[in-house]
Structures are given as C-alpha cells and as structure tokens.
Amino acid sequence: MPRNRLSFALGLAIALVTAPALAQSHQDIDKVNGSITAEAGQTYGDLDTVNGSIRLEMGATVGDAETVNGSIQAAESVTAKSLTTVNGSVRVGTSSKLDSVETVNGSIFVDRGGNIHRGVETVNGAIGLVDTDLGGGIETVNGDITVGVGSHVRGGIHVEKPGHNWGFSMGKKKPPRIVIGPNAQVDGAMVFEREVVLYVHRTAKVGSITGAKAIPFDTDRAPE
C-alpha cells in the first residue's frame, strides 16, 4: 500500500548500501553509485543501485530492477519481475511483460501491449497506461491516473487520503485527475478517499465508484 512506501524507501536504501560487494549471482548487478544497463536480448538476475538510473534495452530479461535515486527506462519487449524506484520515473516500452511497477516520487507510463501481472503504485506521481493489461489494481495518493485507450485494469483503482507524512500541511493542493479512456475497462471498485476529478469515456466499462462522481465524455481526450 502507498502508506508503506516511506518505510520501503528507507529499507531499500539501507539494504542496498550495506549489500555485499559480490552479488549472489554472476548475473546480478549491484551498485551504490552508478547507472546500470541491461543489454538488448540478454538475460540478467536482479539489478540494484542506490544513486543511478536503470536502462533495459529491447528484449532484455531481468529479475527485480530497483533503484533509490534514479529513473528506470525499459525499451520494447522487455521482461522483468518488479521495476521499483523511490525518487525517479518509470517508463516502459511496448509489448513488455512485468510483475509490478512501483515508485514513490515519480511517474509511471506503460506503452501499448504492456502486460503487468500484479499492480501499479505511486505516492507522488502520475500513472499512464495505453492499451495495457493490468492483472492487479492501481494505487496512488497524489498522482493523476490515465487508463488509456483499450487498457484493462482488473484490480480496481484506489486513491488514498493523504496523511501528514505526504506534505499536505501547506496550502490546498490540486485534486488528482482520473481519466478512464475510450474502450478502457476497470474491473473491481474505484475508491477515492480524497477529492478527485473523474472522467469516464462513454465507451469505457467500470465497476462501482465510491467518493467521486463520474463526468462522461465522448471525445478522444478528456476535457482539460
């Protein structure tokens, strides 16, 4: 759950900094400072860094890819378990297969043909899916969500109420913008514990909605 992301961030940082110099497998890559690249068509174990980005080239297969301060860029046809970062964005190319995608402070975008076995989570970051099949749900606190054209989310959507730990003590923040696009489908409940602006395309299929009123639209893009 997003409320656990702060402890996750601290735990990940400590674990990576104190990791042994030698990886458990010769295919694992473990760094404190520096970026990591998984080369096209190659197979790796887990990829871990603290201060650096992770790049997965076309057709690469990896285990868990984790960084604390850095982005994750995955090209097309990538296969991975989890893609996880604390401070950075995650961008996934077309026709990729993943177990889960998580970030604390950063956006997530999954392009056409993506298949994610479990869920997608952020705290402070937008989430965008295009023609993507998501086996779990979507969770965020402060991020916009776009379930784009042809996407299928099987685990519902949950936008949590922000707590004092997420920097909401100074001024009123703009409510997250939630868009369910043309021919998209969201199975399960959509639960909003805070104010949001919810747009649902007339061709989309959704389950129950709690905490928001859907605004219908029939154009290619939702109103700004």
Please report, for the chain, the start and end positions of each structural domain, with discontinuous segments joined by +: 2-217
Alpha helices in the chain (DSSP H): 5-17
For the stretch 32-55, what's the b/e string if a residue is b when 16 or more beta carbons lie within 10 angstroms of its beta carbon? Answer: eeeebebeeeeebbbbbbbbbbbb
Residue 9: φ, ψ to 5°: -60, -45
Residue 56 in tokens: 């997965």
How far the first Cα of the chain sits from its last, in Å, is 29
How confident is the model at residue 224, as a pLDDT? 85
* Residues present in the chain in total: 224
Q: What is the mean pLDDT of each run of 10 residues along the chain (224 residues)?
A: 52 47 62 97 97 98 97 98 98 98 98 97 97 98 97 97 61 87 97 98 97 96 90
For the stretch 62-73, what's the b/e string if a residue is b when 16 or more beta carbons lie within 10 angstroms of its beta carbon? Answer: bbbbbbbbbbbb
Reference 81, options 142, 26, 38; nearest CA is: 38
Segment 137-165, tens digit of pLDDT: 999 999 999 999 999 999 999 999 998 55
